[in-house]
Structure 1
Amino acid sequence: MKTTHIIPGDSAAGSLREALRIAGRDDDLLVFQDDLSCGPIADMAPSARAVWRQMDGWDIENSLHAFWLNASKADRLVVWFGRHSAREMAFRLAWAWRMAGRHYHVIDVTGLRVPVRWGNGTDGVIQSAQAVSIIPGNGLATLFGRERNVSANEDILNQRRWEKLMADNAPFRVVTADGLASAPIDHFDALLLAQANSEWKKVAFIIGNALGLSSDPYLQVGDMALHERVINLVEEGALIADGDPSEMRTCQVRLPS
């Protein structure tokens, strides 16, 4: 029986591909490319997500259709995630809801101590992992065989949690001490505005700083979602832009005088 590993996000997928190569495994890998920690989720159909998340060069609807179809056909499923990542945890709950009744395994990396070798060749240890996406492939390779079965009760609980979030249909979902929670559209605005002052700063700088500050103790949001909020803050007059704010590497912003 062939194993198919399920992972949310290209960053985590790259590390898991490396892990499979290091371990010499010929398992399959399916990547869920949507980020369910942001945007409307009342309608989970791929077509509905595609309408909201339009991106040049990516056929979102067909990509999501293919993911769920291939997952339903796989023999043995292993879902990787970390509970301290909003993106990974949102996918974990949505998976339980979408795949209700299907048997699968999980590898939850949350809090694991993982020995790694960094890109510069030095050895180190991740003392308490937050997410799959922050663990290098050589670290993930040490976790094969640690998957566990998911009980029917756990699955039902996760399905109900996702149904509650779907009913909320909030713009964001963020990690809290009690699990994933709905958050309003302006949840990260104060953090973004705190990175600006009266001097011109590139949008990429504002977003980069906000990303760093929103990653401890939980990985809460991605750069694309923050970029959208910067654009909206410019449109609302909370930030002044010199250039097109959709061009994060060239446009500069500052607080109004």
Structure 2
Amino acid sequence: MTKSVETVHAAWGASRAESVRDALRLQGCTDRVVALTHDLSVGPIDPLDPTARRAWFEANLRSDEEPREEPADLAAPWVEATAVGVHPVHWVCLSDAAEHACFLEFVFRMAGRPFDVVDATGLDLPGVGRVPSIRSLGQLRPAEIVAAGLAERRRPFSQAASDAAVAAWTRLRRENAPLRVVRDGHLVSAPLTHFDALLAGQASGERELLIRLVARVLHRVDAGLDQPGQGCRYELLFARILALGEAGVLDVTGPGPGMRDYEVRGPAAGRLASGTT
């Protein structure tokens, strides 16, 4: 008698996994859904050492929230989703850098074993909810996932595609850059300063709350209005604005510690050239 293989769905991050789970439940599916940990689009990835990554995050990112308690075992979801004896289904939108990086790590850990993928990359959704075109699974509510028929897009991930993904992730791990962004559909390495020019270009000549500049840049990145590179998090932009302030590129004032406790204007060079103060 053949033993049935359990289907386990996986997606990057708790909110995306929860949306996938709720969408499946709306369609009568009770399969397990696993939220994969780590934003692998930022920080060191070779090796994937939690202590080294935590130290890098503390040095290069700036949060506006109270520190959240991490799960006791960050590796457990990965073990659960890639275990021998289950058939995984990975949900992803490859235009999102964090989802893309998570997917490549997932393929790497599967080590050539078969799995299915639900790929929402480049999917247009005319008339579906608030989102005309998907750039991230994080944009979609459960009802929108159902209306878009994403579950019906489930397909086996081919061996050739798996080999290409493993090769791409091996290269990215070897490069071990501070950031990874999506460029022309591919995940590529980028320096810590990747978004600095965009931040300086979007900074107003008038003082404004730092959080407004962060929101404006996040919108441009998320909407695909600026190339190259898609995928960013506010903690990085917050830290880079403060760094640009220290370098004199932007004029940053305020006591901190939160984004609403700072004001910013810039770029400073442009003001000096025009003779304004």
TM band (smaller chain): 0.7 to 0.9
- Any idea what the Cα deviations from partners look like across 1:221-257, whole Å, max 9, x if unmatched? 1222212212322333323333245401232122344
Counterpart code for 1:215: D
- Report how many aligned residue pairs link the two structures: 250
Q: What residue in structure 2 maps to residue 121 of structure 1? A: none
Counterpart code for 1:162: W
Cα separation, 1, equivalents of 2:231 and 2:166: 21
Equivalences for residues 1-257 of structure 1 within 5 A: 1-53=5-57, 56-59=67-70, 62-73=72-83, 75-114=86-125, 118=129, 126=132, 128-141=133-146, 142-177=149-184, 179-217=186-224, 219-255=230-266, 256=268, 257=277
Aligned residues of 2:12 and 2:37 also touching (Cα < 8 A): yes
| TM-score under structure 2 length normalisation | 0.80
Gaps of 5+ in 2: 269-276
Runs of 4 or more, structure 1, over 6 Å off, are none
Q: 1:183 to 1:132 in 2, by over 3 A?
A: same
Aligned residues of 2:95 and 2:185 also touching (Cα < 8 A): no
Q: Percent identity?
A: 33
Shift of 1:77: 0.7
Q: 1:4 to 1:116 in 2, by over 3 A?
A: farther
Aligned residues of 1:96 and 1:159 also touching (Cα < 8 A): yes
Shift of 1:166: 1.1
- Structure of higher CA gyration radius: 2
| TM-score under structure 1 length normalisation | 0.86
Counterpart code for 1:110: T
Aligned residues of 1:15 and 1:135 also touching (Cα < 8 A): yes
Shift of 1:210: 0.3
Cα separation, 2, equivalents of 1:8 and 1:173: 16
Does the residue aligned with 1:58 lie in a helix, a strand or coil? coil
Aligned residues of 1:7 and 1:13 also touching (Cα < 8 A): yes
Shift of 1:156: 1.4
Gaps of 5+ in 1: 119-123
- Any idea what the Cα deviations from partners look like across 1:188-232, whole Å, max 9, x if unmatched? 011112222342211110100001111233742122221221232
Shift of 1:29: 1.4
Q: 1:243 to 1:5 in 2, by over 3 A?
A: same
Shift of 1:115: 6.1
Cα separation, 2, equivalents of 1:203 and 1:109: 33
Q: 1:19 to 1:28 in 2, by over 3 A?
A: same
Cα separation, 2, equivalents of 1:33 and 1:227: 22
Does the residue aligned with 1:234 lie in a helix, a strand or coil? helix
Aligned-residue CA RMSD in angstroms?
Answer: 2.4
